[in-house]
């Protein structure tokens, strides 16, 4: 008798066949990145081990959200990164690097080197929180790549109005006179795409799209913005945050199993079930919701 994990794998093969276009790990696309449940200390490590023993085959990456690793001892961080690597998963820092930049460029370089020593594979850069000129962000991307790690800039669709170049000044390298900082937030999808494209040209491995104002809620998804991002950056170079099962289903239904998604650990099995089903053809699920397993 097959266990529940074997049932999910078998379901995927039945839906797409052995020649499915979503490869085995390590994957460049069809990636599932999971939010780490590690918001406490030692007990969380054991909880994570239990979770990965169950869903590890379906997860490609583990993200330390909210700078949680900054509160942990180095020994515990190393245990967690080693555990993830045993399950063939990469480990991302999450968007914490911006807090280090307040101490100067040298502290950021030290931070990247320390992350490498602790077993991190990816450094995430929250471009909106960094409050740096575009060229400075590109230098950080190159610094991360020169250290041998992956760089993943995170972009939001809304920018401070003072950060948006005036009309006619959008050419690469054009001088933009400093302006007074503003707290007003303005949507500019073209600016997001242009800056993301430059990060990819500088060596960034993937672009993370912030869920805010794009895909935070299933009933208010901005399909127009998502289509433009995918069309310009490519499905394989973009990852979207998801906020729940309905959001994940929308992405898989619209873009298929090759879409890269960031999800909470409680959503991973449901997401894998969706990837294994051809929801674009409205195939009825053969397995019940797996949340009881978490």
Instruction: Please tell me which residue, 93 or 178, carries the higher pLDDT value.
Output: 93
In this predicted structure, the answer to whether residue 286 has a pLDDT above a threshold of 90 is no
In this predicted structure, the answer to whether residue 283 has a pLDDT above a threshold of 90 is no
Q: What's residue 154's pLDDT? A: 94
CA dist 92 and 204 (Å) reads 14
pLDDT tens digits, 214-271: 888 888 899 999 999 999 999 999 999 998 889 999 999 999 999 999 998 889 999 9
**Are residues 121 and 94 in contact, defined by beta-carbon separation less than 8 angstroms?**
no
Instruction: Name 211's Cβ contacts closer than 8 Å, sequence gap at least 6.
Output: 240, 241, 242, 243, 247
Tokens for 252, please give them.
């898989």
Chain center to CA of 214 = 14
CATH for the stretch 32-159+186-275: 3.20.20.70
DSSP letter, residue 10:
H
pTM, full prediction:
0.80
Overall average pLDDT of the 175-201 stretch: 80
């Amino acid at each position: 008798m097959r266990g529940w994990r074997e049932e999910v794998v078998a379901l995927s093969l039945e839906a797409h066949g052995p020649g499915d276009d979503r490869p085995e790990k390590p994957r460049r696309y069809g990636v599932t990145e999971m939010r780490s449940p590690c918001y406490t200390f030692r007990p969380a490590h054991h909880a994570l081990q239990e979770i990965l023993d169950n869903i590890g085959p379906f997860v490609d990456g583990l993200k330390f959200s909210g700078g949680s690793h900054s509160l942990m001892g180095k020994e515990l961080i190393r245990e967690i990164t080693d555990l993830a690597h045993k399950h063939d998963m990469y480990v991302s820092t999450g968007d914490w690097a911006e807090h280090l930049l307040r101490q100067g460029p040298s502290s950021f370089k030290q931070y990247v080197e320390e992350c490498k020593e602790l077993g991190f594979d990816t450094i995430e850069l929250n471009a909106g929180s960094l409050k740096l000129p575009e060229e400075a962000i590109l230098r950080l991307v190159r610094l991360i790549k020169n250290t041998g790690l992956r760089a993943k800039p995170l972009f939001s669709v809304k920018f401070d109005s003072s950060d948006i170049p005036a009309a006619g000044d959008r050419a690469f390298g054009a001088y933009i006179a400093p302006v007074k900082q503003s707290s007003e937030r303005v949507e500019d999808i073209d600016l997001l795409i242009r800056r993301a494209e430059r990060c990819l040209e500088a060596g960034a491995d993937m672009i993370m799209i912030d869920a805010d104002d794009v895909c935070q809620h299933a009933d208010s998804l901005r399909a127009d913005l998502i289509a433009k991002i995918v069309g310009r950056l490519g499905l394989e170079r973009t990852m979207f945050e998801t906020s729940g099962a309905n959001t994940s289903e929308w992405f898989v239904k619209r873009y298929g199993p090759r879409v890269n998604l960031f999800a909470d650990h409680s959503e991973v099995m449901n997401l894998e079930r969706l990837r294994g089903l051809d929801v674009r053809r409205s195939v009825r699920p053969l397995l019940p919701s797996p949340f009881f397993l978490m």
